[in-house]
Amino acid sequence: MNRSRTRLLAIPYIIWIAGFTVIPLIFIIAKAMTDQGGAFTVGNLFAIFSPIHRKALIMSLSLAAVSTVICILIAYPAAIILRESHIKKKSIILFILILPMWMNFILRILAMQMLISNNGIINHILEVLSLPQIKIINTPQAIVLGMVYDYLPYMLLPVLNSILSIPQDVIEAAQDLGSDRLHVITHIILPLSLGGVGSGITMVFVPSMTEFVIANILGGGKILLLGNIIEQEFTVSMNWNLGSGLSVSLMAFVLITTLIFGRGNEERAGGFSL
Amino acid sequence: MKKSRVFGRIYIALLMIFLYAPIAVLVMLSFNDSRSRVVWGGFTLKWYVALFRSHAITEALWTTFTLAVLSSIIACALGLLGAIGIFSMRRKNYRLMLFFTNIPLVNADIVTGIALLLWFVRFLPLGFTSVLLAHVTFNIPYVILCILPKLRDMDMQQYEAALDLGASGTYAFIRILIPQILPGVLSGFLMALTLSMDDFVITYFTKGAGVNTLSTLIYGEIRKGIKPELYSLSTLLFLIVLILLILVNLPYDRLFSKNKLETR
């Protein structure tokens, strides 16, 4: 193939990247580094550490971290159970686990609110059974529940993909050499599935770190995450410079975590092609 | 061993309940005669009838569909050309291009949305066009990442053989290369469709007033209280997706080869 001519095919895409990825990034950084009068400042970038926003930053980081860990703790055993199960068509199980993603996520979070609110469905059932009521709505726990519920498929997909693709030969070889079930999991499956867990971590951590809809609905507007504060700067307070500054610092945090955990974005895309 | 299998079944069952309970709630509500969210007022189909009379909902549905289809087609066209172009680049440029491709993927939606908003307000009235441009932007990387592995696995010898046998470059490209990467384009297209239909944050920041997709319509109604028609709409959409996916996943091969297996 005439490579130098084929390369030209990328020109429309390069123009698109320049126009809709690079220029917008320059704009948001420029906005972040000026004040409302247009003068240069770095105050907006460091506003994330100011006493008002520090609380939201810590809350966002910790809720995102807790949600990510819970997602791993749920998804990993599920993947191992599915691997060891005798179900012939594993793709059907995958399909059932992914299917909820096709229902609008705001509606699903609203349904979760109806389930767990103080006079919600779960409490009605508990009342009939004369069991103690749950009081979880409008707490950080409720937000974590919502995040785990919404982002679990993003963890399940890559983890399942990486665990299901480990060749059976490798495991049998370990068993022949005397490994028991636990040893197989810790010495064969775990190291071979770390890539999947890594992309799962990015895919859960990044959205839950920057999310504002779940916090609005399940936190009752009482718990502010960074996403909520940024959204309010753009829609209520109308301080776009501060909003941009917070976004850029948020982007820095996200970049750091993806550099630590995120490898193989192609796995990420491959995770969806069942 | 038996005990662990029972445990495994219970675990998967609990997981299913967790994932499907909210969906069951939405489906129930779509048939609920009472406007209350927690009281069952009897079975009705009136929300399904009302759904097709609601101008706001049908319009948002139409916007969502056109956006998804148009942005996926544009993303696939640009992404296909882009992926082929990137693939034939030298190592350094190849990596540079992948780096830029990854930006919208790695970046948080809220940052992408705000960055596009800040840029669009300079030259474009916010509306359908700005949302379309935004959707194409976040769809292209997924398309490219679906196509690149196919290009890597491609059999270039066939292409060269076609050229040796007198095919023109364009003809060989269409007859040999395109069929080999078509599955990648298709899965990229499906992913783009799904992402576009599901997006809320980027649409929210780039849409301006007047345009609504289903997500932004629902978000706007949270404070007023969700119209029950939306429950019936989401139930319908869920059913359509379910049926489509079942049709795609049916084990046709086994259905048709059953006789062969029995005679063997």
Domain boundaries, chain B: 1-54+228-246, 55-226
Candidates B72, B67, B77, B69; CA nearest to B189 is B72
A273: pLDDT confidence band, cut at 50, 70 and 90? very low
Q: For an interface test with A, which of B114, B132, B139, B177 has the most A Cβ atoms less than 10 Å from its Cβ?
A: B114
Q: Residue A29: which pLDDT band, with cuts at 50, 70 and 90?
A: very high
Which pLDDT belongs to residue A263? Answer: 54
Distance from CA of B203 to the nearest CA of A (A): 13
Query: Quick check: B260 pLDDT over 50?
Result: no
> In which band, very low, low, confident or very high, does the pLDDT at A39 lie, cut at 50, 70 and 90?
confident
Which residue out of B72, B89, B99, B111 would a mutagenesis test of the A interface target, given it has the greatest number of A Cβ atoms within 10 Å?
A: B111
Percent of chain A exceeding pLDDT 70 equals 92
What does the block give as tokens for A151?
Answer: 């982002």
Cβ distance of B79 and A99 shorter than 8 Å: no
Measured between CB atoms, does B46 come within 8 Å of chain A?
no
Give the pLDDT confidence of B61-100 residue by residue, as tens digits. Answer: 999 999 999 999 999 999 999 998 998 888 899 999 998 9
Assess whether pLDDT exceeds 50 at residue B263: no
Q: Counting beta carbons within 10 angstroms of the beta carbon of residue A51, is it exposed (0 to 12), middle (13 to 18) or buried (19 or more)?
A: exposed
Q: What is the mean pLDDT of chain B?
A: 87
Mean pLDDT, residues B207-218: 90
Q: What is the pLDDT of residue B107?
A: 86
Determine what percent of chain A is predicted with pLDDT higher than 90.
Answer: 39
CATH superfamily of B55-226: MetI-like (1.10.3720.10)
Pair A204, A68: CB distance under 8 Å: yes
pLDDT at B120: 95
pLDDT at position A258, please?
76
Query: Which pLDDT tens digit goes with each residue over A196-253?
Result: 898 888 889 988 988 899 999 999 888 889 999 999 999 888 899 999 999 999 998 8
> What's the confidence (pLDDT) of residue B262?
42
Residue listed under structure tokens 């592995």: B149
pLDDT at B257 over 80: no
Q: Is pLDDT of A270 > 50?
A: no
pLDDT in tens, B9-62: 899 899 999 999 999 999 998 998 887 766 778 888 888 988 888 898 999 999
Q: What is the pLDDT of residue B1?
A: 53
User: What's the pTM value of the predicted model, to 2 decimals?
Assistant: 0.86
Is B47 touching A (CB cutoff 8 A)?
A: no
Q: Which residue has the higher pLDDT, B52 or B136?
A: B136
Residue among A230, A192, A237 at smallest CA distance from A211: A230
Contact between A198 and A261 (Cβ < 8 Å): yes
Is A161 within 8 Å of A155 (Cβ atoms)? Answer: no
For the beta carbon of residue A31, count every other beta carbon within 10 angstroms.
Answer: 20
Does the beta carbon of B84 lie under 8 angstroms from any beta carbon of chain A?
Answer: yes
Q: How far apart are CA B179 and CA A145, in angstroms?
A: 44
The answer to whether A124 contacts B38, with C-beta atoms less than 8 Å apart, is yes
List the Cα angle B262/A85/B254 in 5-degree steps: 25
Look at phi and psi of residue B244 and say left if phi exceeds 0, alpha if psi is from -120 to 50, else beta. Answer: alpha
CB atoms within 10 A of CB B169: 14
How high is the pLDDT of residue B253?
57
Judged by CB atoms closer than 8 Å, whether chains meet at A234 and B117 is answered as yes
pLDDT over 70 (residue A124): yes
The better pLDDT of the pair A266, A156 is held by: A156
Separation of alpha carbons B116 and A244, rounded Å: 12
**CB–CB contacts below 8 A, A to B:** 233
Cβ-proximal residues to A168 (8 Å cutoff; 6+ apart), any chain: none
From the CA of B137, how many Å to the nearest CA of chain A? 7
Is the separation of the CB atoms in A64 and A208 below 8 Å? yes
Q: Do A265 and B145 touch (CB under 8 A)?
A: yes
Q: Which CATH superfamily is domain A51-270 in?
A: MetI-like (1.10.3720.10)
B88–A6 C-beta distance less than 8 A: yes
Cβ distance B103 to A21 less than 8 Å, yes or no, reads yes
Backbone φ and ψ for B32, nearest 5 degrees, come out as: -85, 125
> What SS3 state is found at B83?
helix
C-beta neighbour count of B260 within 10 angstroms: 8
Q: Is B186 on the interface with A (CB under 8 A)?
A: no
Q: Where are the domains of chain A?
A: 51-270
User: SS3 letters for chain A?
Assistant: CCHHHHHHHHHHHHHHHHHHHHHHHHHHHHHHCECCCCCECCHHHHHHHCHHHHHHHHHHHHHHHHHHHHHHHHHHHHHHHHHHCCCCCHHHHHHHHHHHHHCCHHHHHHHHHHHHCCCCHHHHHHHHCCCCCCCCCCCHHHHHHHHHHHHHHHHHHHHHHHHHCCCHHHHHHHHHCCCCHHHHHHHHHHHHHHHHHHHHHHHHHHHHHHCCHHHHHHCCCCCCCHHHHHHHHHHCCCCHHHHHHHHHHHHHHHHHHHHHHCCCHHHHHHCCCC
Reduced to 3 states (helix: H, G, I; strand: E, B; else coil), residue B174 is helix
| Mean pLDDT estimate for chain A | 86
List chain B residues with CB under 8 Å of A273.
Answer: 146, 187, 191
> Which residues of chain B does A268 touch, with a Cβ-Cβ cutoff of 8 Å?
105, 145
Determine, for residues B222 and A21 on separate chains, whether the beta-carbon distance falls below 8 Å. no
Identify whether the C-beta of residue B106 lies closer than 8 Å to the C-beta of residue A258. yes
pLDDT recorded at residue A262:
58
For residue A271, pLDDT over 80 is answered with no
